[in-house]
Amino acid sequence: MTQMEMARKGVVSDEMKKVAEYEGVDVEIVRQKLAEGRAVLPKNKLHRIERPMIVGEGFSVKVNANIGTSQGFSSLEEEKEKARVAIEYGADSLMVLSTWGDLREIRRAIVEMSPVPVGSVPIYDSAVRSYQMKKNVVDFSEKDFFDMVIAHAEDGIDFMTIHVGVTRRVLDRIKSSRRVLKIVSRGGAIIAGWMIKNNKENPFYEHFDELLDIAKDYDITLSLGDGMRPGAVVDASDAQQFEELFVMGELVERAREKGVQVMLEGPGHVPLNEVEMNVRLMKKIGKGAPIFLLGPLPTDRAMGYDHIACAIGGALAGYYGADFLCYVTPSEHISLPDVEDVREGVIASKIAAIVADVARGNKKAWELEKKMALARKNFDWETMFSLSLGKDVAKKKYEERPYPDKGCSMCGPFCAIKIAEEFS
């Protein structure tokens, strides 16, 4: 049984208990949200997960960190280090998005070591194999689509991005689209290219039931990928994006009917004034399914600092109901991230998630804010550092520019808290 099926039958799994404890809520709430499909608990039956997560309505906002190789940068050791650092700084899940080296070896190694759920985009493997065989990146068979999904499922992958909304009908519209950047989703472009080259429907869409059967067997959570997401603020929130969303909306119902856990992926690049609308529309069309956002970036001019732009968009999206934020690193749009980028990306997205939790009135988040305020009042630096998402970074800064008395070198003897203390 999938977690969803168990929940529907009133069975409380160990994972449900664990996430209920982590969230500080009654397990009955967890069970109910899973049964309704308003939350997902990604966990492949073959994967032992120490720290499972629940993603969805009423729960804390989660953060995903993408890792993975690319041509020229395909060290397994570096990817393992990225995974370790991402988890250390609070990533709730990892996605292994390798496009170079021995993809299966890397994927298995990460699944093996990861205490959190691991996701992937199986179609990448087909494209990479074709390219490595000196063929065009979209030169693979219809069967490959599903073979790769099964291979990833066998490797213990917990959730998979499937660009199933890239249908003939949706692709057709792109011809008249006035977007500056037509397609910026890697998986979306691969599938679109395959469809055009072969003059065929998207196999994931055409044989969606087959996909659901595989997902059900392993309890893979399907993450309906947004292959048509806008790739620039100027392209945001267009018909292309939303027509794909409407396809996803239909498929959410079909997945739920089969007891398969499902969530929706969303943009991407969205000006801040359209974030609320995007999130609400996704929740409406997706029948309350959890939302997994790639960003959103509310400006394209933050290159080198896209993690900050992403934190701005993600925090607001989270406040309006996005459940799961995919981090962006300082290297986004520039190069493959290194370990340091991963750390900075995770911290920025965790800040966004916590800002959203606080804004949504999450009890646990407020308790920690209160502890921080008290630690500040008491000049209790160790507690402050331990409550900080940057932990050692904050501590290192403090030690680099110390102040010998109570307080810090920002204000020295002119610390407002000290002066206020003296006169009240």
Binding residues for [4Fe-4S] cluster: 408, 411, 415
Can you say which residues are annotated as belonging to the binding site?
Answer: 66, 95, 124, 163, 185-187, 226-229, 265, 269, 292, 333, 408, 411, 415
Residue 419: CB minimum distance to a copy of itself, A: 4
Region of 47-55, 208-216, 256-264, 305-313 interacting with a copy of itself (CB under 8 A)? 305-313
**Contact between 140 and 129 (Cβ < 8 Å):** yes
Q: In this complex, which beta carbon is closest to a copy of itself, that of residue 286 or of residue 298? A: 298
Q: Determine, following the binding rule CB under 8 A, whether residue 30 of this chain makes contact with a copy of itself.
A: no
Residue 233: CB minimum distance to a copy of itself, A: 5
The residues pairing with 264 across neighbouring beta strands, listed in sequence order, are 224, 291
Contact set for a copy of itself, span 386-405 (CB under 8 A)? 387-391, 393-394, 397-398, 400-404
Q: Which of 10, 14, 50, 72 binds a copy of itself (CB under 8 A)?
A: 72
Q: In this complex, which beta carbon is closest to a copy of itself, that of residue 29 or of residue 393? A: 393
Q: Determine, following the binding rule CB under 8 A, whether residue 234 of this chain makes contact with a copy of itself.
A: yes
Q: Which of 48, 141, 169, 409 binds a copy of itself (CB under 8 A)?
A: 409
Which residues 6+ apart lie within 8 Å of 6 measured at CB? 12, 13, 16, 34
Which parts of 114-220 fold into alpha helices (H)?
Answer: 123-132, 142-154, 168-174, 186-198, 203-206, 208-218
Q: Which of 38, 56, 124, 279 binds a copy of itself (CB under 8 A)?
A: 124
> What residue type is assigned to position 72 of the chain?
G
Q: Which of 9, 277, 303, 364 binds a copy of itself (CB under 8 A)?
A: 303
Instruction: Tell me the Cα Rg of the chain.
Output: 22
The residues pairing with 94 across neighbouring beta strands, listed in sequence order, are 65, 118
The residues pairing with 293 across neighbouring beta strands, listed in sequence order, are 266, 325
- 309 token code pair: 């732009």
Can you say which residues are annotated as belonging to the binding site for Zn(2+)?
Answer: 269, 333
- Whole-angstrom distance, CA of residue 416 vs CA of residue 245: 51
Q: Determine, following the binding rule CB under 8 A, whether residue 243 of this chain makes contact with a copy of itself.
A: no
Q: What are phi and psi of 116, to 5 degrees?
A: -120, 165
Whether omega before 361 lies within 30 degrees of 0, making that bond cis, reads no
Q: Which of 100, 159, 208, 292 binds a copy of itself (CB under 8 A)?
A: 100
Binding mask 247-286 for a copy of itself (x = CB under 8 A): ------------------------xxx-------------
Region of 36-44, 108-116, 176-184, 209-217 interacting with a copy of itself (CB under 8 A)? 176-184
Q: Which of 174, 214, 285, 339 binds a copy of itself (CB under 8 A)?
A: 174
Q: Which of 99, 221, 261, 278 binds a copy of itself (CB under 8 A)?
A: 99
- 332 token code pair: 């986004």
Q: Which of 113, 150, 196, 277 binds a copy of itself (CB under 8 A)?
A: 196
- Whole-angstrom distance, CA of residue 72 vs CA of residue 366: 44
- 193 token code pair: 């290219």
* Largest Cα–Cα separation, the chain: 79
121 closest CA partner among 182, 191, 52 = 191
Which residues 6+ apart lie within 8 Å of 226 measured at CB? 163, 165, 185, 188, 241, 244, 245, 248, 264, 265, 266, 267, 268, 294
Residue 303: CB minimum distance to a copy of itself, A: 4
Q: In this complex, which beta carbon is closest to a copy of itself, that of residue 47 or of residue 186? A: 186
Region of 11-19, 174-182, 245-253, 286-294 interacting with a copy of itself (CB under 8 A)? 174-182
Q: In this complex, which beta carbon is closest to a copy of itself, that of residue 46 or of residue 417? A: 417
**Contact between 47 and 158 (Cβ < 8 Å):** yes
Q: What are phi and psi of 99, to 5 degrees?
A: -130, 20
Contact set for a copy of itself, span 326-385 (CB under 8 A)? 330-338, 347-348, 351-352, 354-356, 358-361, 366, 368-370, 372-374, 376-377, 384-385
Q: Determine, following the binding rule CB under 8 A, whether residue 231 of this chain makes contact with a copy of itself.
A: yes
